Amino acid sequence: MADRRHNARDVFPPTGTDLNTKSWLTEAPLRMLMNNLHPDVAENPHELVVYGGIGRAARTWEDFDRIVASLKSLEDDETLLVQSGKPVGVFKTHKDAPRVLIANSNLVPNWANWDHFHELDKKGLAMYGQMTAGSWIYIGTQGIVQGTYETFMEAGRQHYDGNLKGRWILTGGLGGMGGAQPLAAVMAGACCLAVECDEKSADFRLRTKYVDEKTHSLDEALEMIGRWTKAGEAKSVALIGNAADIFPELVKRGVKPDIVTDQTSAHDPVNGYLPQGWTVAEWRGKAETDPKAVEKAARASMKVHVQAMVDFWNAGVPTLDYGNNIRQVAMEEGLENAFAFPGFVPAYIRPLFCRGIGPFRWCALSGDPEDIYKTDAKVKELIPDDAHLHNWLDMARERISFQGLPARICWVGLGQRHRLGLAFNEMVRTGELKAPIVIGRDHLDSGSVASPNRETEAMKDGSDAVSDWPLLNALLNTASGATWVSLHHGGGVGMGFSQHSGMVICCDGTEDADRRIGRVLWNDPATGVMRHADAGYEIALNCAKEQGLNLPGILGR
């Protein structure tokens, strides 16, 4: 497989207003697929890896080329099917149907584990789609900066009276997602010490100014943190080291951070987590030649790592799992109280999900940053009274450079999303924007994921593992006319632990698009409100009533 996956060429999405396909509805997935592999966006584009361990945009380079060719010839009443990153069929549908339907990494439950996945992967039969990698709506680290920022802000509200000045956050991992942590912390007013084993990852964050300093010495890192917190300065440092060594060492020294979390890729014990005592080079090599040995050593180290997090928690430090499934592994390795500290969703995000609020995002197909700035202004105009939202938009513009096609994310919910979508479509229609906009979201959203160790951890009614919901979400988005829809397995927390769906809709300025946007950007967050109302959350039940949702078995009408 290696050769079919490796290619030295660089992919850049087309920009501007000339079509490479027969319409904007096929140009949009074409540009967004290529944007996922843009050298400034993807973690390892030559291997087709976008982010999150081995989350890929296409199964092989040959498949990538065939997807592109298929999109170029696709008619506006045809639909392309993509199966684990391979374009398997083009079928006649109709103009209100999605142009692309995607299913990635799905396995019959009894075989839904990494061993079987890797066995298939070796045969060329599989691809790990993560969440937005295989569904072509990754926009670089801005998405995660916003999510992490919201999480840290909420933690600050709950534990430090809304003021993180002079506080510091300990974490691990500066990869595709984790790299957002120091910047999000600083935006939230806190300092950050991030342990990263791969110097290249740290250097990349330094170059893009997501982290302020780098060191190989724990003592030096602690000295910086001490100095900054004392001065009330919000700054961040990357410490090159192994989190499984550093976290316990801090516990041993009695050092107490103000918040502890982790974003190593623990969900993938072969490719995502450096075992203690190994060099990065040894690890990468052995992951190819002896994956079993890597997995065993990595899992043992995760247990040590989580033990330290439990120790911080027991010492009164707000500690949270940031969705990498590390508690699960530690528990399987025999750490009984691995789940002592909570996941970030039940702790901080669920109240937002109850109102359909989640990681709404959009991208300017023109490639012109001005298009995004104009939409930023439109959001402020349409949602005038939300200081928090306005503050985010200002900071994002100031501190986050665009990667690949210019994009914006902001967390908005049911009742707002379709208003923004219709307004953007109008701006495309009138020529205010240079080219169409695509609107999508993470699979980590209100109605689109079942993941008992993360997004649906500790649901009020115990329905954590029921995955009817994301499947219904995907079917409904397909029925509502999204431009592409995806169903994935194993994103975020790894094989066996999640099922989730994605959707993207293209605002091409047409009146057909108005109708589709009105349905999709209402129905999609509404399924999230429905799912949480069914589980008995008051906020969701009230939101459903306020918004006039028709939920027969839930609201009893």
Q: Look up 410 and say whether it is catalytic.
A: yes
Q: If binding is defined by CB under 6 A, does position 171 make contact with ligand NAD? A: no
Backbone angles phi, psi at 45, to 5 degrees: -65, -30
Half-sphere exposure of 49 (CA within 13 A, CB side): 13
User: How does strand 191-196 pair with strand 236-240?
Assistant: parallel
Select from ligand NAD, a copy of itself, none the partner in contact with residue 461, using the beta carbon and a kind-dependent cut-off of 5 to 8 Å: a copy of itself
The tokens of 283 are what?
């690890």
Select from ligand NAD, a copy of itself, none the partner in contact with residue 226, using the beta carbon and a kind-dependent cut-off of 5 to 8 Å: none
User: Smallest gap, in angstroms, from Cβ of residue 479 to a copy of itself?
Assistant: 4
Q: If binding is defined by CB under 6 A, does position 178 make contact with ligand NAD? A: yes
Residue 128, annotated as binding a ligand: no
- Which residues have a Cβ under 8 Å from the Cβ of 10 and sit 6 or more positions away? 39, 45
User: Smallest gap, in angstroms, from Cβ of residue 543 to a copy of itself?
Assistant: 13
Q: If binding is defined by CB under 6 A, does position 272 make contact with ligand NAD? A: yes
Q: If binding is defined by CB under 6 A, does position 52 make contact with ligand NAD? A: yes
- Could you give the CA distance from residue 485 to residue 505 in angstroms, rounded to a whole number? 9
The tokens of 116 are what?
């079987």
Member of 66, 99, 267, 519 binding ligand NAD (CB under 6 A): 267
Q: If binding is defined by CB under 6 A, does position 36 make contact with ligand NAD? A: no
- Crossing angle of helices 243-253 and 218-231, rounded to 10°: 60
Nearer to ligand NAD, 343 or 481 (CB): 343
User: Smallest gap, in angstroms, from Cβ of residue 495 to ligand NAD?
Assistant: 12
The helix/strand/coil state of 298 is helix
User: Smallest gap, in angstroms, from Cβ of residue 44 to ligand NAD?
Assistant: 9
Select from a copy of itself, ligand NAD, none the partner in contact with residue 142, using the beta carbon and a kind-dependent cut-off of 5 to 8 Å: none
- Could you give the CA distance from residue 57 to residue 61 in angstroms, rounded to a whole number? 10
For residue 99, give the amino acid letter. Answer: R
CB–CB of 167/177 below 8 Å? no
Sign of CA dihedral 149, 155, 159, 162: positive
Nearer to ligand NAD, 245 or 368 (CB): 245
Nearer to ligand NAD, 25 or 240 (CB): 240
Residue 178, annotated as binding a ligand: yes
User: Smallest gap, in angstroms, from Cβ of residue 322 to ligand NAD?
Assistant: 5
- Which residue in 410, 506, 507, 543 is the catalytic one? 410
Interacting span for ligand NAD (CB under 6 A) from 91-99, 101-109, 189-197, 205-213: 189-197
Largest CA distance in the chain: 65
User: Smallest gap, in angstroms, from Cβ of residue 93 to ligand NAD?
Assistant: 30
Among candidates 485, 69, 398, 81, which has minimal Cα distance to 209?
398
Q: Which x/- pattern, by CB under 6 A, does the window 475-494 give for ligand NAD?
A: -----------------x--
User: Smallest gap, in angstroms, from Cβ of residue 39 to ligand NAD?
Assistant: 15
Select from a copy of itself, ligand NAD, none the partner in contact with residue 98, using the beta carbon and a kind-dependent cut-off of 5 to 8 Å: a copy of itself
The kind and range of the H/E element at 154 are helix 142-159
The tokens of 41 are what?
């966006």
For residue 467, give the amino acid letter. Answer: S
Please report which residue ranges of 194-269 form alpha helices under DSSP H: 199-207, 218-231, 243-253
Q: If binding is defined by CB under 6 A, does position 265 make contact with ligand NAD? A: yes
- Could you give the CA distance from residue 78 to residue 23 in angstroms, rounded to a whole number? 12
> Residue 250's CB: how many other CB atoms inside 10 A?
21
CB–CB of 366/15 below 8 Å? yes
Select from a copy of itself, ligand NAD, none the partner in contact with residue 546, using the beta carbon and a kind-dependent cut-off of 5 to 8 Å: none
The tokens of 263 are what?
């974003």
Q: If binding is defined by CB under 6 A, does position 406 make contact with ligand NAD? A: no
CB–CB of 169/191 below 8 Å? yes
Q: If binding is defined by CB under 6 A, does position 174 make contact with ligand NAD? A: yes
For residue 340, give the amino acid letter. Answer: A
The residues of the shown chain that bind ligand NAD, judged by CB under 6 A, are 43, 51-53, 144, 147, 172-178, 195-198, 201, 242-244, 263-267, 272-274, 322-324, 444, 454, 492
Q: Which residues are catalytic?
A: 410
Which residues carry a binding-site annotation? 52-53, 130, 176-178, 196, 242-243, 263-267, 273-274, 322, 492
Known binding-site residue numbers for NAD(+): 52-53, 130, 176-178, 196, 242-243, 263-267, 273-274, 322, 492
